[in-house]
Amino acid sequence: MARVLIGTIALEMNRWSNRVPSYKVSDWLSRFNNDGFDGMELWENHVIHEVSEGEAAKIKDLGFPVSVYNTYALFGEDDAEKRKNAAKMIEYFNVDAVKFNVGDDLTQIDVYKSNLLEFADTIPSKCRLLCECHGGTILDDNKIAKDFFTDLPEGKFGIIIHPFDSVASLQEKFDMFGSRITHVHSQLQRIENEKTLRLRLDEWPEHVSACFDVFRKYNFCGSFTIEFTGGTASVGENIDTLYENALADMAFIRKNLL
């Protein structure tokens, strides 16, 4: 059965605006646990922002696992302090993995790599570094990313994918990175009437199932984070609906990706 995490950003309505948390993760942990999530991917702003004073201790005390720490610290020279703070949180929560991205300046690629390796030495040895390779960063380019990771140990440095963009792009990711792909950010979107709609997985099952066929072809046995779901950034968005849709996505993954 697929291991599925709830991304705390999935319920966060300020995810793309001021990034000031609109809810406290600690208030939701009993629901996350009772409803069957295997852990969470913790959005960094939910514990480092000033409005969340004491929140990190509450989350730790309640014991629901922080499986992935989602940091926004980049790897240029200007982000050293952010990386230092991220390393403290990674150790504090004893996480299994950290999501990261590098910057957008190709001329700085050697700097990014050097700082990434330095950062890796400051976090617990069990913690894997998972690159989201996000759009707008240099590692969004598969060929650049392939070269970047060639000499980095696969057991320490993995890759996160967004699998539902297209079957062809998913196939290309697996062809290039294979078993280095260990984690999925689940979000499904479709353009309708020139607008981007975010959907539950069961609202476009034929497309998601075709992507799952690629997972099976490559014997993928990694984990998922419900990153975004139906209703994200829609008119009338509310946290309760987002959570119900996240639960539906978890159920769909577990039922259909065997």
pLDDT at 162: 97
Query: Residue 62, Cα to own-chain centre: how many angstroms?
Result: 22
Closest C-alpha to 257, from 232, 228, 220: 220
Closest C-alpha to 68, from 34, 103, 39: 39
Q: What residues contact 222, with CB distance under 8 A and at least 6 apart?
A: 3, 181, 182, 183, 184
CA dihedral 39, 246, 52, 126 (to 10 degrees): 30
pLDDT at 212: 97
CA dihedral 135, 136, 137, 140 (to 10 degrees): 30
Return the residue matching tokens 């946290």. Answer: 239
Q: What residues contact 188, with CB distance under 8 A and at least 6 apart?
A: 164, 198, 199, 200, 201, 203, 204, 207, 208, 229
Neighbours of 103 (CB within 10 A): 18
Q: What residues contact 48, with CB distance under 8 A and at least 6 apart?
A: 85, 89
What SS3 class is residue 162? Answer: coil
Query: pLDDT tens per residue, the chain (258 residues)?
Result: 789 999 999 999 999 988 999 999 999 999 999 999 999 999 999 998 766 779 999 999 999 999 999 999 999 999 999 999 999 999 999 999 999 999 999 999 999 999 999 999 999 999 999 999 999 999 999 999 999 999 999 999 999 999 999 999 999 999 999 999 999 999 999 988 778 899 999 999 999 999 999 999 999 999 999 999 999 988 889 999 999 999 999 999 999 986
Domain extent listing, the chain: 3-256
For the whole model, what pTM was predicted?
0.96
Q: What is the rounded end-to-end Cα distance, in angstroms, of the chain?
A: 6
pLDDT at 39: 98
Enter the CATH code of domain 3-256: 3.20.20.150
